Amino acid sequence: MIDNKTFDVIIIGGSYAGLAAGMALGRASKKTLIIDNGNPCNKQTPYSHNFLTNDGKSPSEITSIANHQVSNYDTVHFLNETAIDVVKSMNGFNVRVTDGESFETTNLIFATGIKDLLPPIKVFLNVGVFLFCTALIAMATKFEM
Ligand SMILES: Cc1cc2nc3c(=O)[nH]c(=O)nc-3n(C[C@H](O)[C@H](O)[C@H](O)COP(=O)(O)OP(=O)(O)OC[C@H]3O[C@@H](n4cnc5c(N)ncnc54)[C@H](O)[C@@H]3O)c2cc1C
């Protein structure tokens, strides 16, 4: 439960993009709320690759370090919830979450990620997914040996 429900910025999505925005806003002393429901696109991935300073770390490990660093800025608040509704209000936006609580903000950032949607081409779906996954597994195996 968060007492004062008015923020300078609300960020919906608290994975890498949302946390990066949260850190910049924390450094600028903006009163910020990060709402996240813990479902990042890479959650099934065991290790990160090609990510400078984080090569080989698990996505959750990277998130936990980022969470720790962002939480050092005391104007940034975290809420483990799902944002279900946003409406325009007099001074900005009103954001409602699943448990019924709502929050006011002047500025809103959507950092909800993207969904990878393959084109609906049968050959591409069958062969493309197979080749893509095989290449990823091969790369991962090579570097972990
Ligand atoms: C299988 C896979 C493997 C990858 N491997 C690598 C790699 O090895 N190296 C690399 O550099 N990159 C990798 N990536 C890419 C990297 O994971 C993404 O670029 C990065 O996660 C994108 O971050 P994001 O914050 O934009 O989105 P996401 O990480 O998807 O985060 C979006 C967040 O928003 C939250 N959210 C969404 N809607 C709501 C809502 N309504 N209310 C509250 N919260 C909400 C979700 O729970 C989630 O936490 C990989 C991606 C995938 C899918």
Q: What are phi and psi of 114, to 5 degrees?
A: -130, 160
Ligand 1 pocket at CB < 6 A? 12-18, 35-42, 45, 48-51, 82-83, 111-113
Q: Where in the chain is the domain with CATH 3.50.50.60?
A: 6-114
How far apart, in Å, are the Cα atoms of 90 and each of 87, 104, 106?
10, 10, 9
What is the pLDDT, as a whole number, of residue 70?
A: 98
* Per-residue pLDDT of the chain in tens (145 residues, 90 and over written 9): 677 899 999 999 999 999 999 999 999 999 999 999 999 999 999 999 999 999 999 999 999 999 999 999 999 999 999 999 999 999 999 999 999 999 999 999 999 999 888 888 876 566 555 556 566 666 655 555 4
According to the model, what pLDDT value does residue 145 have?
41
Gap from CA of 90 to ligand 1 centroid (Å): 32
Q: What is the dihedral of CA 21, 25, 31, 36, to 10 degrees?
A: 10
pLDDT at res. 122:
75
Q: Which CATH superfamily is domain 6-114 in?
A: FAD/NAD(P)-binding domain (3.50.50.60)
